Amino acid sequence: MGDLSINATRRAARTRWMLLAPALFILVLAASGPLLITLVYSVLTAGDYGGVEWQFSTDAWFNVFAQRDIFTDQLGWSDAHLSIFWRSVKLSLMTTLACLFFGVPKAYFIATRPKKQRELWMLLVIIPFWTNLLIRTFAIMELIRNEGTINTALLWLGVIDAPIQMLFTEFSILVGMVYVYLPLMVLPVYASMERLDFSLVEAGYDLYATRLQVLRRVIVPLVKPGVIAGSILVFVPSLGAYVTPRVMGGGNQLMLGNLIELQFGQGRNWPLGAALSITLLAIVMIALLFYVRVAGKEDIKHG
């Protein structure tokens, strides 16, 4: 009897791993494996024409944040890299805040519609989410270009004499990122609000709470998990954004993603590109871990 059940367990284990094998094979080949090789590349020497020389070197990691002055050989912070890191973090935080500002009322609005209407509203949120990010970026770019819809209309109306330069600025990157990532905020916030018992809100008002008090004491604690999830979902892709800053920033307002690409193009410094990628990955992982910890605590609190 014991032997039989051990055999059955073994057979189940074998079936399981055989079923998993094809998926894991592809993922190791084109997801986790290459990531490990990137880690190795970050401690090699850069080749003269791109690629690497198989020689150990910590130059790449050194160059992520620091640089040696060419003339005086003095050590210093790499201002160019630091300013790009700072811009990436700043724009990602601003994107997250703007998405909160627009996304939370939007989710609230949808969650308080009658049940039948809600699905239609949500479909309207989901459709842009599943359409091509490049096309959405392109759509917003056509709007704010110098020859774009807004400037053309303003010129025609005689409000301005010369087009306002909106594209290729930090502002345009921010607009583009809020535009493309807003659904990522609305979806989880809506999911947490949909479960919200609105009679609690009404009870709060009945007991003479002000709007602000109801918001702070009733709504915020209940939708907090959705808001945190939404913020992470917006912050993480913003930090690694590549297409939107490339299209909206036009090459002079680099973000991390563009700085990484540069190392594999003109920069010809693959190890530095690898080290920058791993750095970006580390920041993202810290953000995700933070989320897991906070979300875990919330679960415990609410039983």
The DSSP element (H or E) to which 141 belongs, if any, is helix 133-144
Q: Is the CB of 209 or the CB of 224 nearer to another protein?
A: 209
CB 95 → another protein: shortest distance, Å? Answer: 14
Nearest Cα neighbor of 58 from 43, 72, 73 is 43
Site for another protein in 115-154 (CB under 8 A): 123-128, 130-136, 138-143, 145, 147-149, 151-152
The amino acid present at 19, given as its one-letter code, is L
- Whether the Cβ atoms of residue 95 and residue 181 lie closer than 8 Å to each other: yes
- Whether the Cβ atoms of residue 184 and residue 234 lie closer than 8 Å to each other: yes
Q: Is the CB of 82 or the CB of 134 nearer to another protein?
A: 134
Q: Is the CB of 140 or the CB of 174 nearer to another protein?
A: 140
Which of 184, 257, 269, 272 is in the footprint of another protein by CB under 8 A? 257
Site for another protein in 5-64 (CB under 8 A): 12-13, 15-17, 19-20, 22-24, 26-35, 37-38, 41, 51
CB 212 → another protein: shortest distance, Å? Answer: 12
Q: Is the CB of 13 or the CB of 75 nearer to another protein?
A: 13
DSSP 52-102: EEEEE--HHHHHHHEEE-TTT--EEE-HHHHHHHHHHHHHHHHHHHHHHHH
- Whether the Cβ atoms of residue 206 and residue 64 lie closer than 8 Å to each other: no
Q: Is the CB of 87 or the CB of 145 nearer to another protein?
A: 145
Other residues' Cβ atoms within 10 Å of the Cβ of residue 181: 27
The amino acid present at 94, given as its one-letter code, is M
CB 121 → another protein: shortest distance, Å? Answer: 8
Q: Is the CB of 75 or the CB of 220 nearer to another protein?
A: 220
111 token code pair: 């969650």
CB 73 → another protein: shortest distance, Å? Answer: 30
Q: Tell me if 290 contacts another protein by CB under 8 A.
A: no
Q: Is the CB of 104 or the CB of 225 nearer to another protein?
A: 104
Nearest Cα neighbor of 184 from 222, 136, 142 is 136
Site for another protein in 56-95 (CB under 8 A): none
CB 109 → another protein: shortest distance, Å? Answer: 4
Query: Which region among 59-67, 70-78, 79-87, 206-214 touches another protein (by CB under 8 A)?
Result: 206-214
What track of x and - describes contact with another protein for positions 169 through 188 (by CB under 8 A)?
Answer: ----------x--x------
Which of 60, 110, 167, 228 is in the footprint of another protein by CB under 8 A? 110
HSE-up of residue 129 (Cα within 13 Å, Cβ side): 14
Phi, psi of 302 (to 5 degrees): -90, 10
Rounded distance, CA 73 to CA 79, Å?
16
Q: Tell me if 239 contacts another protein by CB under 8 A.
A: yes
Nearest Cα neighbor of 295 from 231, 242, 244 is 231
The DSSP element (H or E) to which 273 belongs, if any, is helix 270-301
